[in-house]
Amino acid sequence: MNKDEMMRKVQMLSFVVVDVNLFLDTHPNNTAALNYYEKYRNLYMEAKSQYEKNFGPLTAGGVDIKDKWSWIETPWPWQWEA
Amino acid sequence: MADVQAVNAADYDIEPYVGMPIYFDDNGALLGYGRKNSCIVSDGTTAGNNTGNKNCSGGMMESPGTVRPGNQGMQNNQDMQNNQGMQNNQGNQSNQSMQNGQSMQGTQNNQNMQNAQGMQNNQGNQGMQNNQGMQGNQNVQSIMCSRNFETWPLAMAYVPWQAFKQTYSPEEGFEAGTIFPELDLPFLGGGRR
């Protein structure tokens, strides 16, 4: 999976997590939705960490702390290509 | 107008449901009950739930205050079953049978109950009672078919409770903007078109 594909996967899973989050806000005891949330949150975190391992941190919180601050190595928003 | 009344549903051949609006005239006689059909769209240009709603298409073109000739004094139960008969409820209030709550309950209104068209008109009527210009039910219809919500009768609203069912795949959900197929609906808002 290339960088774009992996990014899209992260975005899709992130969206699923947010959407079921909204459902749970009004149905906090719904077991099916809770299970669903757990499943997709794990998938999301897995995809996110996969992406970050290969292509750098998505958020500053995803910086892999070794000897330097890798957050500034990936492009800033204004440096992205259209 | 009576404030609150206890109604024995069996007396009126009513099938009640929670939140069901019930309408009375000034004498406490039952005018009607139940919900009107959806009549959200004013000009008939957008279908929505309006499809097949004869009340909208029939009533909305008429100007306020119109009373159709020939309907004055209409007391016949048969006539009261349809829109024509219901048009002049306001106009009929001065006639004898309308002043008598008992006879209303016993005769005309039971007839009215059989007809959704009549009920809708009654609902409209209730809201328009203080409006001098609005005499006929057709005109009430025209008000309710307008977008000027200030002229609408008060109503009750409800939102169905969503259940957790089969969801879209992440791919489908991402494209649709929701993972819930039941919420994947066309956007029909945006004002007049």
As a whole number of Å, the end-to-end CA separation of chain B is 39
A23 vs B173: CA distance, rounded Å: 14
Q: Say if the Cβ atoms of B164 and A40 lie within 8 Å.
A: no
A26 inside 8 A of chain B by CB: yes
Q: Say if the Cβ atoms of A15 and B174 lie within 8 Å.
A: yes
B124 vs B138: CA distance, rounded Å: 9
A34 inside 8 A of chain B by CB: no
B75 vs B107: CA distance, rounded Å: 10
Q: Closest-CA residue in chain B for A31?
A: B164
Closest CA to B24 of B114, B116, B89, B77: B89
**pLDDT band for position A66 (cuts 50, 70, 90):** confident
**A10 pLDDT more than 90:** yes
pLDDT: is A63 or B37 the higher one? A63
- In this prediction, residues B18-28 reach a mean pLDDT of 66
**pLDDT band for position B30 (cuts 50, 70, 90):** low
* Residues whose CB is less than 8 angstroms from the CB of residue B49 and which lie 6 or more positions away in sequence, other chains included: B37, B38, B40
pLDDT: is B65 or A29 the higher one? A29
How many contiguous H segments (helices) and E segments (strands) does chain B have?
9, 2
Q: Say if the Cβ atoms of B170 and A13 lie within 8 Å.
A: yes
Closest CA to B104 of B14, B125, B113, B83: B113
* Residues whose CB is less than 8 angstroms from the CB of residue A24 and which lie 6 or more positions away in sequence, other chains included: A30, A33, A34, A37
Q: Report the amino acid identity of residue B55.
A: N
B103 vs B37: CA distance, rounded Å: 28
CA distance A56 to chain B (A): 23
Q: What is the 3-state secondary structure (H, E, C) of A10-74?
A: HHHHHHHHHHHHHHHHHCCCCHHHHHHHHHHHHHHHHHHHHHHHHHCCCCHHHCCCCCCCHHHCC
Interface test with B, best of A10, A12, A18, A27 (most B CBs within 10 A): A12
* Residues whose CB is less than 8 angstroms from the CB of residue A70 and which lie 6 or more positions away in sequence, other chains included: A56, A57, A63, A64
pLDDT: is A33 or B188 the higher one? A33
Per residue in B39-62, pLDDT (tens digit) is 333 333 333 333 333 333 332 333
Per residue in B128-184, pLDDT (tens digit) is 444 444 444 555 555 555 666 777 777 778 888 999 999 999 999 999 999 999 999
Q: Say if the Cβ atoms of A11 and B174 lie within 8 Å.
A: yes
Cβ contact B127:B153 at 8 Å: yes
Residue showing tokens 């009215």: B112
Q: Say if the Cβ atoms of B174 and A12 lie within 8 Å.
A: yes
